[in-house]
Amino acid sequence: MLKPNLNEAKQRNREKILVKTNEYIINDQIKDIGLGKKYFVKTYGCQMNEHDTENIKAILEDMSYEEVDNMEEADLILLNTCAIRENAHNKVFGMIGRIKTLKESKPDIIAGICGCMAQEEKVVDEILKKYRHLDLVFGTHNIINLPNLLSKAITSKEMQVEVLSGQGSVLENIPVKRDSKYKAWVNIMYGCDKFCTYCIVPYTRGKQRSRLPEHIIDEVKELVSKNYQEVTLLGQNVNAYGKDLDLEYTMANLLESVAKTNIPRIRFVTSHPWDFSDEMIDIIAKYDNIMPYIHLPIQSGSNRILKLMGRRYTKEEYLTLFDKIKNKIPNVSVTTDIIVGFPNETEQDFQDTLDIVEYCKYDLAYTFIFSAREGTPAAKMEDNVSLEDKKQRLYKLNERINYYAKENNLKYLGKTVKVLLDKKEKNGLSGYTETMKSVYVDTDHQYLGQIKEVEITDVRTWSLKGKIK
Ligand code: 5AD
Ligand code: SF4
Say whether pLDDT at 14 is over 80. no
Output the CA 141–ligand 1 centroid distance in Å: 22
Q: Is the CB of 236 under 6 A from ligand 2?
A: yes
CA of 433 to the centre of ligand 2 (A): 27
pLDDT at 55: 98
Ligand 1 centre distance from Cα of residue 117 (Å)? 15
Q: Whose CA is nearest to atom 6 of ligand 1?
A: 199
Average pLDDT along the chain: 95
pLDDT tens-digit map of 264-307: 999 999 999 999 999 999 999 999 999 999 999 999 999 999 99
How much is the average pLDDT of 397-414?
A: 97
Task: State the pLDDT at residue 22.
Answer: 86
Residue 181 Cα to ligand 1 midpoint, Å, equals 31
Is 394 near ligand 1, meaning CB less than 6 Å away?
Answer: no
Ramachandran angles phi, psi of 306, nearest 5°: -55, -40
Q: How far is the CA of 342 from the centre of ligand 1 (A)?
A: 10
Pairing of strands 416-425, 450-459: antiparallel
pLDDT at 13: 82
Residue 288 has a pLDDT of 98
Whether 224 contacts 262, CB under 8 Å: yes
pLDDT one-digit tens code per residue, 218-240: 999 999 999 999 999 999 999 99
* pLDDT, mean of residues 336-352: 97
Which residue's CA lies nearest to atom 12 of ligand 1?
337
| Nearest alpha carbon to residue 67 among 82, 136, 108, 58 | 58
Ligand nearest to the CA of 237: 2
Q: Is the CB of 297 under 6 A from ligand 1?
A: yes
CA distances in angstroms from 383 to 29, 306, 326, listed in the order given: 53, 16, 36
* Region 126-142 average pLDDT: 95
pLDDT at residue 8 greater than cutoff 90 = no
Q: How far is the CA of 3 from the centre of ligand 1 (A)?
A: 25
- 311 in ligand 2 pocket by Cβ < 6 Å? no
Residue 200 CA to ligand 1 centre (angstroms): 9
**Would the pLDDT of 164 be above 90?**
no
The confidence score (pLDDT) of residue 133 equals 95
> Quick check: 292 and 330 in contact, CB under 8 A?
yes
Instruction: Using the CB atoms, write b or e for 353-366: b if 16+ within 10 Å.
Output: bbebbeebebbbbe
**Which atom of ligand 2 is found nearest the CA of 236?**
6
Closest ligand 1 atom to residue 198 Cα is 10
Q: Which of 46, 201, 313 maximizes ligand 2 atoms within 8 Å of its Cβ, making it the mutation to test the pocket?
A: 201
CA–CA distance, 267 with 420 (Å, rounded to integer): 13
Which atom of ligand 2 is nearest to 199's Cα?
A: 1
Distance 192 CA to ligand 2 centre (A): 6
Number of residues that make up the chain:
469
Q: Are strands 265-269 and 230-234 parallel, antiparallel or unpaired?
A: parallel
Q: Give the least confident one: 162-176, 314-328, 372-386.
A: 162-176
Of all atoms in ligand 1, which is nearest to the CA of residue 373? Answer: 10
Alpha-carbon distance of 392 to 70, in angstroms, equals 38
Quote the CA–CA distance of 393 and 52 in Å, as a whole number. Answer: 34
The full set of domains in the chain, from first to last, is 6-162 (3.40.50.12160), 170-410 (3.80.30.20), 416-468 (2.40.50.140)
pLDDT band at 17 (very low <50, low <70, confident <90, very high): confident
Q: Whole-model pTM? A: 0.96
CA distance 120 to 203: 8
